[in-house]
Structure formats: structure tokens, C-alpha cells
Structure 1
Amino acid sequence: MRSSFSVNLFVFLTPGLSSTARIFILLIAALLSTSATAQSETGAKTLRVAYIEFPPITYQANDGAPAGSFIELTRKVALEAGYEPEFIYLPVSRTYLYLSNGGIDVWPGVTEVANLEDDVLESWVSPFPAQLSAWYCEGTPALDHFDQLQGKQVIVIGGYTYGGLLAWLEKSVGIRVTEAPNHRSAVDMLKRKRGDYLLDYRQPVKEILTEPTDSVIRESELRTRNAAWVFSLANPRAALLREEFDDAYLRLVEKGEVPPVREITGGYVIPGFPQLLR
């Protein structure tokens, strides 16, 4: 489509056009230009945000709407940065795929996902830590060293990769892995002795430990990573998006509307944790 400058030049240089024709052409050109600009701005300002079932951090509410503390934080930061978030509910594996191929722009998730190493940029800002724990029943020894999983049955949550740890466990001789469909089922399996340890993140498990019999559940910290906004490098604006999000978060900190900036550290890792996943 011609630019408004080109159209104006065309009208000015074309002989024989009546005044009415000139005005009509200029009016149509202005309307088309305004429409194209509005569509372009709308597309540029919409941000495709994936989220997974990770209550109370991110999850899909009963009415199908995105919910959770990280969802609300993401919405607030995106709006401050000038974007309208379009939340898309996905399984973890699909989230990783769409980050790799550009099907989504950003995921409010965690840092250091081995499968995404070359496909994403992580925000410099981290709003909170994400702790992976080994859960077990009273009477079972606490997990003080990762080697204690040898000879044990380990429960995992379906769809979770644990930053590459699941693949390592499945290849390990002497460690048996069984899958639970969700956090509640996993805790119930643990109480029924269908596994010795459950590997799951702290926030979702704490959220569902509400039954009287859940009082027997104990916890050992395995690894602490950082929550972050993870941007797809398939989007050519990934680096700019990261800077805009970080800057927006800092502005909101100054207004007192989000938690203070955390000092990012390497986090805790249990002794014996696989070296290649650190």
C-alpha cells in the first residue's frame, strides 16, 4: 500500500483531477493508513503468554480463566510495559515446544530449563524462588543426599521435566519412576506407599496439604531455582521484550506495587545432585 506521502505526491502531480476527486482520494488514503496503523499497533501490543497448571502460582480456574499469583503479576508487568497479555493454557511439554518455535512470546516460569537453553532469554528480574523438594511420609528417612534415591521408587508429576532431572532419573539404574496425574494424586500415592519419595515443587504441594492425614507428609529441599519471565528467541523482539519487562518491574517496585527486587543467587542444590543439571 502506498504511504500517505506517496499518495499526496500522486494527487499533487496528477493533472486533470477535480478538487472533489483529490479530496476523495486523500480521504480514502487517510482512512486506510489509520486502519493499517491501528492493526499494526494492536498486533504489536498483544503478547502471547503461556501458563501451566502450577497452583497457586499459575493455573486455570474453574471458569477457564487464568489465575494465580504469577498470572496477576505478569498481567500487571505486561500492562506497565505497554502490552495486552493473551494467556494461553498449555501442558509443560507444549509450552517448551512453543517457546522453541515461536508459538508463544513468553512464559512465566523458571530459570535454567535444560531443554530451552538455546531457545530463550530469561528476565534479569526474578519475583520469587521456586523450590523443588523431595516429599516423604513420617518414618521414612529425610533425603540428605541425592544418592539416597538409589533403590527407591520415586513419584513424579505427569508432564513435568524438572529441568531435565526426569530424563536423568529414567535412565538411572536402580531408581524406579512412577507418574501421578496431578499434585493431589501424587500425595495420595505417597501415603499409600506407592512410592518412597515424591519429587514436586513446594508451592503446589503446600497448597493441597489440607486433609487431616496429610500431617504425616515431610519435606526435604532438593534444589532452588528462580522464577522468571522466559522469552522465546524465535520472536525477533525477544531482547527488547525482556528489557521492557525488567524496566516495567522496576517502575512498579518504585510505586510499591510489586515485591522488591531479589538478589539472584545460585540457589541451593542437595549434595549428590547430578552435576550435568546444576
Structure 2
Amino acid sequence: MYRCFPRIVSRLTRLLLLAGMLVLAQLAHGNGNPGDTVRIAYVEFPPITYRNDDGEPSGMFIDITRKVALEAGYTPEFLYLPVSRAYLYLENGQIDAWTGVSGVPALMGHVLESWASPMPVQLSAWYLSGRSALNHFDQLQNKRVIVIGGYTYGGLLYWLEGQPSIRVTEAPNHRAALEMLKRDRGDYLLDYRQPVRDILTMPGDSQIRESEVRSRNLAWLFSLANPRAALLREEFDDAYVRLAERGEVPPVRVLNQGFVVPGFPEKYR
């Protein structure tokens, strides 16, 4: 019996060393266990996030998210949702995260935002050449405003709909919204820069002008209904930094408050 004891100790030592090496390897590649699934919502927001013709998640933010999740040690499971459903699922914990934007008032107290942000997102007011640029938000009073169906603009839509002097008209998509603007079915179109600039290729689009309204940052928003929300944020941020250092994602950005047009409703800044 005593003769076997050194061999048992030696075997235990080897097992402990192996376990330690596995832990160190895991820490080097994020704290998630390889194969663990993280449920990530995305919405129709081309070219940032969207569902392609094959029904698969696509877009520049989707590509970055996939890299970051894998670097952190997770397998991303993408869920395509309307934005209102994404908000609800973040609140009740049916998803772990959303590839969205920072500073959404309706989500305050329900999410943790990542510190890392690959790029800014610009909300603009689009109008026709020869008409007035939007230099103050009060200029929307007594005007017709086109919006995109399914978008809440960080809650700003509810403010617009509550203004008796602003007539809100909904378009089913970005292309339809531009055509409505060109046909004088609205004075301004509220829409994001990236999706609109991506499709300004049709005859007559050259007459469309842009005024900046509000800038925010792309971010991963982690559901506080998940007890691991803070850990997930840390893992994603750390993974993003490692990828940025290797040149596989955009450089780490120094975030600021961004631009806000004068008169923008304080509640939705």
C-alpha cells in the first residue's frame, strides 16, 4: 500500500498541473467555456446588421460580434428581432445581449453597455435640395416627418408622435422612405446615415441633402436579467481589445458624448 503512495501523489501532481494549464489557456482566450452559447439579438439595420437573402445574420457589426464572441470563448447564437422585441427580451432575460446603440433611454436600468465600440452611428434629417437644412429641432414643428417602420430612434419616435403639430408618416424601408421624400410626401426623413448612404444610387438621389441630428455609438448591450452580465461585458471588452491589437477589428475608440442638434428633446439625448 505504502509503495503505491508515491505513484498516486505523482499522478495527482500531473493532473493538477494539467488542470492549471487548461485554466491558463482559458484565461488567455477569454473566460467563456468554448462552446458556451451567448444569445445575441440583431435588428434590420443594413449595412450594420441585417438578415440576408439566405436568412442569415449579416452586416459589419455582425462580423465583428462573431469575432469578439469567439475570441471571448463563446459561440454566438444570433436572433433576428423587431427592435421592440429586442428591448423586451433584454428586460426579461430571454437574450443575453443586443448589437445596438448606446444611450437608449428605454433600456436604462435594464442593460450594461460595453466600453468598446467599433464605430459611431449617425441619425440624420434628410431633405431635398432647395429646402432648409435642419439646424434646430424646433424646425420640425408644423412639418411632415417620414420615419422608418419598426424604428423607435431610441424612443424619439414617441416624442414625435406626441407633438400635435408634427405629422409623422411611416415608410416600410429606407428606399421607400427616400422615394416618399422625393415625391414630396414629407419635408424631412429621419433616418440613419449608414443605411441611407448605402442606397443613394438611384436617379434623382443627387437632390437629397443631409443634416446631422444625433450621434451615438454602436455597443453590445448586456441584459441585467442575466446574473453574468458584468462578466460578459468584461469578456467582450477584453476580447475586442485583443482583436484590435492584432488588427482584426477597428481600433479602440475614445468615446465622447457625440453631436446633438440644438433643441433635441432632453429626455432622449
Once the two structures are superposed, residues 72-100 of structure 1 have per-residue CA deviations (whole angstroms, 9 ceiling, x without a partner) of: 00000000000000111111111111111
1:82 equivalenced with 2:76 (yes/no): no
Q: What CA distance in whole angstroms lies between the structure 1 residues aligned with 2:263 and 2:189?
A: 17
Q: Does 1:93 align with 2:84?
A: yes
**Which residue identity lines up with residue 229 of structure 1 in the other structure?**
W
Q: Distance in 2 between matches of 1:137 and 1:277?
A: 26
Shift of 1:44: 7.4
Q: Does 1:135 align with 2:111?
A: no
- Residue 9 of structure 2: aligned partner: none
| Helix, strand or coil at the partner of 1:125 | coil
SS in 2 for 1:212: coil
Are 2:141 and 1:150 aligned?
A: yes
Partner letter of residue 80 of structure 1? Answer: E
> Which residues of structure 1 form unaligned runs of 5+?
1-40
CA distance in 2, matches of 1:229, 1:185: 29
Give 2:187's aligned residue: 196
Distance 2:140 2:111 in 1: 32
Partner Cα separation in structure 2 for residue 43 and residue 86 of structure 1: 13
1:250 positional shift: 0.6
Q: In the alignment, is residue 67 of structure 1 matched against residue 63 of structure 2?
A: no
Select which of 155, 169, 180 maps to 1:164.
155
Task: Report the CA distance between 1:155 and its aligned residue.
Answer: 0.4
Matched, 1:123 2:98: no
- CA distance in structure 2 between the aligned counterparts of 1:130 and 1:107, rounded to whole angstroms: 15
Secondary structure of the corresponding residue to residue 218 of structure 2 = strand
* Structure ranking higher in helix proportion: 1
- After TM superposition, give the deviation of residue 272 of structure 1 in Å: 0.8
Distance in 1, matches of 2:244 and 2:154, equals: 29
1:229-275 deviation per Cα after TM superposition (whole angstroms, max 9, x unaligned): 01111111000000000000011111111111111000000011112
TM-score by length of 1: 0.84
Which residue identity is paired with 2:244?
A: V
Root-mean-square deviation (CA), in Å?
1.3
Task: Determine the C-alpha separation between the residues in 2 that align with 1:84 and 1:243.
Answer: 16
What TM-score, normalized by structure 2, do the two folds share? Answer: 0.86
Q: Tell me the residue number matched to 1:185.
A: 176
Which portions of structure 1, spanning 4 or more consecutive aligned residues, are displaced by more than 6 angstroms? 41-44
Q: State the match for 1:258 in structure 2.
A: 249
Give the match's secondary structure for 2:55: coil
**Structure-2 residue corresponding to 1:224:** 215
The answer to whether residue 42 in structure 2 is matched with residue 46 in structure 1 is no
C-alpha distance after superposition, 1:77-125 (max 9, x if no partner): 0000000001111111111111111111111110011111111000011
Identical columns (%): 71
1:210 to 181, 201, 210: 201
C-alpha displacement of 1:173: 2.4
One-letter amino acid of the structure 2 residue matched with residue 99 of structure 1: L
After TM superposition, the structure 1 stretch with the greater mean CA deviation from structure 2, 168-177 or 127-136, is 168-177
Decide whether the 8 Å contact of 2:33 with 2:73 is kept in 1.
no
Letter in 2 for 1:153: R
Query: Which structure has the greater CA radius of gyration?
Result: 1
